[in-house]
């Protein structure tokens, strides 16, 4: 959804060879970006935070189902799972709308085809939101990493308890747990590597006054890469050919 909403705006800017503020003027002041740029900044912030919150919900669900199955069976219901998505989206939308209300400033970045929250330069009103945004992202990354590491530990323990040798039915559960273990490990590493640059850039811009739009652009690219690569890792890894290849490698090791 984020790619479908944001990509046409960028393509239109390139097609008309105009910046986002020129395509959608209407800012309250001369130095303030236009309405389209403000919308773009809101969508970038929202679709950077909302999937992270949903990933945390998925990581918690995985951790509870493996580590605390009785609690999971008693308290986690389908109704609760169905309400988590809209609730997470609503909370993220309210939080990311703060710059539109004056706490934080949307900013058009070079070459004028993308906008985000200003991460360097300005006073507490301008830099308070990016620090808060980066801090929340950092907490979510730590929580997701902790849940996934704990889930991997439970999966490894379950695999160790399975018999190492025997007919295929006896060996299959152990290999299935190893499949999930490798998948969780890959997605955790990818998510952490893609999220850290934005967190680092926000803190550097706020406390070290490091104004570097190219570095900010690279951080946003990393954050966008995560939402592109993670589904492909999941899709490719779930194919039978790739899983059989991983199982052969595990057996050799």
Tokens, residue 57 = 């919900």
Max mean pLDDT range (108-112, 171-175, 247-251): 108-112
Cα distance between residue 44 and residue 155, in whole Å: 35
Say what the pLDDT of residue 240 is: 66
Give, rounded to a whole angstrom, the gap between the first and last alpha carbons of the chain. 41
Whether the pLDDT of residue 50 is over 80: the answer is yes
- Look at residue 126 and tell me whether its pLDDT is greater than 60: yes
How far is it, in rounded angstroms, from Cα 2 to Cα 89? Answer: 12
Most confident of 84-93, 125-134, 208-217: 84-93
Give the residue-averaged pLDDT of 53-80: 83
Confidence label for 124 from pLDDT (cuts 50, 70 and 90): low
Alpha-carbon distance of 195 to 248, in angstroms, equals 32
Q: Is residue 143 packed enough to be buried (19+ CB in 10 Å), middle (13-18) or exposed (0-12)?
A: middle
Task: Show Cβ contacts of residue 45 under 8 Å, excluding neighbours closer than 6 positions.
Answer: 96, 99, 116, 117, 133
Mean pLDDT, rounded, for 177-184:
68
Taking the C-alpha atoms of residue 98 and residue 173, their distance in angstroms, rounded to an integer, is 48
CATH superfamily name and code, 40-161+174-251? Rhodopsin 7-helix transmembrane proteins (1.20.1070.10)
The Cα angle at residue 136 between residues 133 and 141, in degrees rounded to 5:
125
The DSSP result for 12-50, as a single string, is HHHHHT--HHHHS---SSSSS--HHHHHHHHHHHHHHHH
127 with 211: CB under 8 angstroms?
A: no
Candidates 197, 251, 188, 206; CA nearest to 224 is 197
- Is the whole model's pTM more than 0.85, yes or no? no
pLDDT value at 61 more than 70: yes
Q: Please, which residues bridge with residue 109 across strands?
A: 114
d(Cα 49, Cα 117) in Å, to the nearest integer?
A: 13
Looking at residue 123, what is its pLDDT?
A: 67
Spatial CA neighbour of 143 closest among 47, 63, 83, 203: 63
In degrees and rounded to multiples of 5, residue 144 shows phi and psi of -65, -45
Quick: pLDDT tens for 6-39: 888 888 888 888 887 777 766 554 566 778 888 8
Of 134, 61, 82, 59, the closest CA to residue 104 belongs to: 134
CA angle in degrees (0–180, nearest 5) for 138-231-115: 55
Q: Where are the beta strands (DSSP E) in the chain?
A: 106-109, 114-117
173 confidence band (pLDDT: 50, 70, 90): very low
- Residue whose structure tokens are 């590597």: 193
Judge whether residue 128 has pLDDT over 70: yes
């Amino acid at each position: 959804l984020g790619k479908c909403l944001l990509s046409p705006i960028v393509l239109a800017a390139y097609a008309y060879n105009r910046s986002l503020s020129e395509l959608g003027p209407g800012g309250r002041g001369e130095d303030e970006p236009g309405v389209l740029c403000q919308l773009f900044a809101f969508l970038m912030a929202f679709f950077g935070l909302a999937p992270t919150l949903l990933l945390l919900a998925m990581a918690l669900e995985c951790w509870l189902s493996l580590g605390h199955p009785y609690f999971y069976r008693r308290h986690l219901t389908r109704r609760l799972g169905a309400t988590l998505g809209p609730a997470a989206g609503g909370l993220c939308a309210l939080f990311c709308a703060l710059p539109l209300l004056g706490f934080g400033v949307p900013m058009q970045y070079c070459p004028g085809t993308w906008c985000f929250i200003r991460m360097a330069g300005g006073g507490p009103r301008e830099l308070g939101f990016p620090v808060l945004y980066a801090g929340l992202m950092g907490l979510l990354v730590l929580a997701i990493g902790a849940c996934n590491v704990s889930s991997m530990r439970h999966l490894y323990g379950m695999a160790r308890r399975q018999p190492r040798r025997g007919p295929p039915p006896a060996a299959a559960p152990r290999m299935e747990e190893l499949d999930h273990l490798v998948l969780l490990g890959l997605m955790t590493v990818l998510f952490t590597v893609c999220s850290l640059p934005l967190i680092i850039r926000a803190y550097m811009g706020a406390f070290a006054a490091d104004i570097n739009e190219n570095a900010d652009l690279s951080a946003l690219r990393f954050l966008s890469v995560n939402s592109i690569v993670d589904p492909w890792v999941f899709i490719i890894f779930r194919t039978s050919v790739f899983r059989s290849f991983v199982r052969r490698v595990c057996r050799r090791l």
